[in-house]
Structure 1
Amino acid sequence: MEKIAFIGGGNMAVAIIGGLIASGWEPSRITVVDPNADQRDRLAAEHGVHITDDVATAAIADTIVLAVKPQVINALAGQMNTDLSGKLLLSIAAGVTIATLEQLFGPVALARTMPNTPALLGLGATGLYVNDHTSEVQRLEAQKIIESFGICVAVEQEELLDAVTAVSGSGPAYYFLMIEEMIKAGTALGLSREDAAALTVQTALGAATMAAQGDVPPEELRARVTSPNGTTQAAIVSMQNNAFGQIISNAMTACQTRAKELGKGQ
């Protein structure tokens, strides 16, 4: 029976573990390696998974999830010090390229991913790229793991993960900023902060749910609520006159550029 090991037991690892168990994985098939005793105990109590502080133990698993900070990867590779042939290494370490991972771990199956924080709610949007040593079976396994906590979008070129970062990796912050500013504006218009927040968040949830249904493109959804010479049109025209689209484009381009720089260690 296939086993999976997580090196690192932080928030994103917890999100993936929760998704796996919810999708049918038995906790007995999951091992978490973490140096923090309190975190290990918490994971064992809440999820019933195996826990350890011995990195080498992870090598017994078929899939090893590298759920650590990028600056820890080098030291981690030295601690593994074992034959990883036949294993699938799935990395969620931001900015660590496949080339770097291959230098550290050798010519093994590697899947590099870019998840985002809504994965904590099972609503993640994650990009996936695999190297040439990854079999189709292993690629599908990586995709299955990711889909346990949201959607998975596979890209054919690794550099496209920087675009994924700009869209979904950093994307939640854009929406949080929009919510933040709408609450401020609603309060300035006379609503209490509590009412402005409730209306803003529910509106964001409703709009996202309608867009997620997928049968109507967003531009059509927008048109349906934008009556000629109406209140919504007044707001939309104001946004367009203030280069709203260009602001979004510039922000996402800046995000992609920074992701590329981080990938080069800058």
Structure 2
Amino acid sequence: MDFGEVSRRGLVLLGCGKMGGAMLDGWLGDGLPPAAVTVLEPRPSPALEARVAAGLRLNADLPADPAVAVLAVKPQMMGDALPRLAALGGGGTLFVSIAAGTTLAALEAVLGTGTPIVRAMPNTPASIGRGITALLGNAAVDAAGLALAEGLLAAVGRTVRIGSESELDAITALSGSGPAYVFLLIEAMAAAGEAQGLAPELARTLARATVVGAGALAESAGATPAAQLRADVTSPGGTTAAALEVLMAPGGLTDLLSRAVAAGAARSRELAG
């Protein structure tokens, strides 16, 4: 992306753990000068501290009028951390929050109702540049602000714009928590392979490679529905059909995932108050 205004006015990153660090790596890799970035992180990693030599500002005074401030602290830390940036609220600085469960209203209560704020929900594959992030802005965000936020978040994967904050609870439960469901699937497949007599390491290798390969195939298929891809590998009366009959039975995988995502969305709503 074009970091022109961000390079000139600066960017503040509040929190630099795994997700914040992944975004920082993406921005710097895309050409954002380290000297344009101020990171506020009470427990900086050695890798982050090493960037100071290149000009990155670590736990330094805030720039007077940064173009954007990215809020990447854990939700439970937001109450203590956000007031440090309250002086930047009011309209001059775009705020981008990736904190799950912290609503636009809660952010506006600290930063001011005239503050442009984008709320976003990335997921952990962002750490390798393969994440997907849903985002939306409050009433103070204009088209340029939303495009800037989208460009920054694109540094760690794909982005999708949504129209309602209420959608974020379901998105948190689907794509935000979704990688954990896939990891559990890999565990379960490997355990099932072991139960059929495979050596543990072989079962783990086969399960992991199968999920990774199937995901890549789904991605390469573009708009082709997953149901069609499933049908393509399912011969009538064959081994796949026998297995899917179990997985797709009432109470099977489809019902379990529906209940799991519903539980995650309910918890997201609880955390948001």
Instruction: Output the TM-score relative to the length of structure 2.
Output: 0.90
Aligned to 1:131: 138
Q: 1:91 aligns with which of 86, 97, 102?
A: 97
Q: Distance in 1 between matches of 2:179 and 2:55?
A: 30
Q: Distance in 2 between matches of 1:197 and 1:46?
A: 37
- Please say if 1:78 is aligned against 2:47: no
Aligned to 2:256: 247
Q: Distance in 2 between matches of 1:173 and 1:49?
A: 36
- Please say if 1:227 is aligned against 2:235: yes
Encode CA deviations 1:54-89: one digit per residue, 9 max, x unaligned: 4x5155421101111223323334333424322100
Q: Shift in Å at residue 210 of structure 1?
A: 0.9
Partner secondary structure for residue 87 of structure 2 = coil
Instruction: Detail structure 1 runs of 4+ shifted over 4 Å in the superposition.
Output: none
Aligned to 1:199: 206
Report the AA paired with residue 217 of structure 1. P
Report the AA paired with residue 42 of structure 1. A
Report the RMSD for the aligned CA atoms in angstroms: 1.7
Aligned residues: 261
Moved more, 92-101 or 58-67: 58-67
Q: Distance in 2 between matches of 1:166 and 1:78?
A: 28
Asked if the contact 1:58/1:64 (under 8 Å) is kept, the reply is: no
Q: Shift in Å at residue 92 of structure 1?
A: 1.2
Q: Distance in 2 between matches of 1:250 and 1:11?
A: 29
Partner secondary structure for residue 57 of structure 1 = coil
Distance 1:244 1:35, change over 3 A: closer
Q: Distance in 2 between matches of 1:53 and 1:25?
A: 18
Structure 1 unmatched runs, 5+: none
Partner secondary structure for residue 112 of structure 1 = strand
Aligned to 2:215: 208
Instruction: Output the TM-score relative to the length of structure 1.
Output: 0.92
Q: Shift in Å at residue 24 of structure 1?
A: 2.8
Q: Distance in 2 between matches of 1:46 and 1:231?
A: 53
Asked if the contact 1:74/1:104 (under 8 Å) is kept, the reply is: no
- Please say if 1:163 is aligned against 2:170: yes
Distance 1:21 1:79, change over 3 A: closer
- Please say if 1:189 is aligned against 2:176: no
Distance 1:21 1:52, change over 3 A: closer
Encode CA deviations 1:76-113: one digit per residue, 9 max, x unaligned: 34333424322100111111100010010012000111
Encode CA deviations 1:19-72: one digit per residue, 9 max, x unaligned: 112333232322211123x53x53142584513324x51554211011112233
Distance 1:49 1:92, change over 3 A: farther
Encode CA deviations 1:232-259: one digit per residue, 9 max, x unaligned: 0000011112532111111111111110
Structure 2 unmatched runs, 5+: none
Distance 1:125 1:4, change over 3 A: same
Aligned to 2:33: 26
Q: Distance in 2 between matches of 1:170 and 1:69?
A: 15
Q: Distance in 1 between matches of 2:135 and 2:75?
A: 17
Asked if the contact 2:121/2:168 (under 8 Å) is kept, the reply is: yes
Partner secondary structure for residue 127 of structure 1 = strand
